Amino acid sequence: MKKIYGNELLISTLCNMVKSGRTAHTVLFYGEKGTGKKLMAKLYTSLLLCKNPINNMACGICSSCRNVENESHPDVTYAVTSGKLGGYSVDTARKICSDAFIKPNNDSGRKIYIFRDCHNMDIRTQNTLLKIIEEPPDYAHFIFTAESKNDFLPTIISRCVCFGVSPCTEEETELSLAESGFRETDIKSAVSCFHGNIGMCTEYIKNEDLRKQVDLTKLLADSIIRKDEYALNTVLFSLGKERNDVKTVLSMLDKLIRDSAVLIHDKEAENIGCFREGAIKLSYMITSRIAEKIHRSIEKAWNTIECNVSIPLALSALCAEITEIII
């Protein structure tokens, strides 16, 4: 298994949980995209199934560990998504519920079900799963990953042990990216945009589309700084019609606005956004109140797009709102 950077406390908690035999049957790993939630799900799975743990840690070399790593372990089921939005259907939940009552065949003595990226999991699906989560067989474990706890019903959350997964330090991210064999110049520019988020930094280096989205976010910030409604409109329309792409850019713009609000009070503050220079310029020309208003408008557009409303419509409303706020 590759070295995992950051989240030391979380990792040692998981190790201790398994060592002491007090393993949680339902676990949720939550945190922003790219922080390593799926990696944590894999780590917990390896800990549960490893045949020869070394110092409380999964060995990484036994057949179980290797199968978990390759996602081919017979006792590990990755729930499959369906539909346009990639959700989990009631049917999938039902199949997993009935499968969970069949005892494991293999020597691990455990069965593990993993639901990744449970963004907005259908309420009916959650209610179907609730039955098994309330009283799981001794050998069954359920692992969820999601960006937020709010993606779940309170009844599900109350039965989960929830672990927040955090970004690393920038130094750790640089080390991890260097270990993956990336070039130093690429690492520097990735870390300047995505800081301690190893997943997003990796994506930035590998994926040209994300680099374009970062550039578009910077152009949006520039249009706001120049109070140029026409440019703002043009850039917003160039985001395209792909829901997730537009949401990514809006999220990045939102972080940048958050940074400028923080920089108003502390010029040395650390950033979470992708464009420090832009955030600094903005911090000189807006107040916290204006930053908050822009944030609300972005949030509104984001939610509207999430609800399947026409993207151009949501974006032109956003353009009009931001222009009204800054002019």
Q: Smallest gap, in angstroms, from Cβ of residue 76 to Zn ion?
A: 13
Nearer to Zn ion, 43 or 239 (CB): 43
Cβ contact 246:232 at 8 Å: no
Site for Zn ion in 71-90 (CB under 5 A): none
Considering the complex, state which of residue 53 and residue 87 has its C-beta at the smaller distance from Zn ion.
Answer: 53
- Taking the mean position of all CA atoms in its chain, how far away is CA 325? 30
Give least dist CB 53 to Zn ion, A. Answer: 7
Give how many residues touch Zn ion by CB under 5 A: 5
State the minimum distance, in angstroms, from the CB of residue 37 to Zn ion.
Answer: 21
What is the C-alpha separation between 147 and 117, in angstroms, rounded? 7
Tell me the closest approach of the beta carbon of residue 47 to Zn ion, in angstroms. 9
Q: Whose Cβ is closer to Zn ion: residue 73's or residue 195's?
A: 73
The CA-atom distances, in angstroms, between 122 and each of 24, 91, 151, 184, 278 are 24, 11, 9, 43, 38
- CB-CB contact of 323 with 232 (8 Å): yes
| Part in contact with Zn ion (CB under 5 A); list of ranges 61-69, 85-93, 126-134, 223-231 | 61-69
Whole-angstrom Cα distance, residue 137 to residue 178? 43
Query: Measured from the CB of residue 11, what is the shortest distance to Zn ion in angstroms?
Result: 15
- For residue 56, the minimal CB distance to Zn ion (Å) is 12
| Binding letters toward Zn ion, positions 237-276, x by CB under 5 A | ----------------------------------------
Give helix 184-194 / helix 170-179 axis angle, nearest 10°.
140
CA-to-CA distance for 327 and 319, rounded, in angstroms? 12
| Choice between 51 and 131, CB closer to Zn ion | 51
Nearest one of 291, 206, 202, 212 to 245, comparing CA atoms: 212
Residue 165 CB, nearest distance to Zn ion (Å)?
A: 22
First to last CA, the chain: 53
Closer residue to Zn ion in complex, CB, 58/235: 58
Dihedral-angle region of residue 112 (phi above 0 means left; psi in -120 to 50 means alpha; beta otherwise): beta
Q: Which of 63/303 has CB closer to Zn ion?
A: 63
Distance CA 164, CA 158 (A): 15
Q: How far is the CB of 2 from Zn ion (least distance, A)?
A: 15
Q: Does 62 bind Zn ion (CB under 5 A)?
A: yes
Nearer to Zn ion, 27 or 50 (CB): 50
Alpha helices in 50-122 (DSSP H): 63-69, 90-100
In angstroms, the CA 216 to CA 144 distance is: 32
Tell me which residue has tokens 């179980």: 64
Question: In the sheet where 161-164 sits, what is the strand order?
Answer: 76-78, 111-115, 140-146, 26-30, 161-164
Cβ proximity to Zn ion, 56 vs 89, nearer residue: 56
If the CB atoms of residues 46 and 92 are measured against Zn ion, the closer one turns out to be 46
Smallest separation, CB 45 to Zn ion (Å): 11
Q: Which stretch binds Zn ion (CB under 5 A): 13-21, 60-68, 211-219, 234-242?
A: 60-68
What residues numbered 17-56 form the site for Zn ion, per CB under 5 A? 50
CA distances from 148 to 44, 86, 221, 244 (A): 19, 17, 27, 17
Interacting residue with Zn ion among 17, 65, 118, 239 (CB under 5 A) = 65
- Contact positions vs Zn ion (CB under 5 A): 50, 58-59, 62, 65
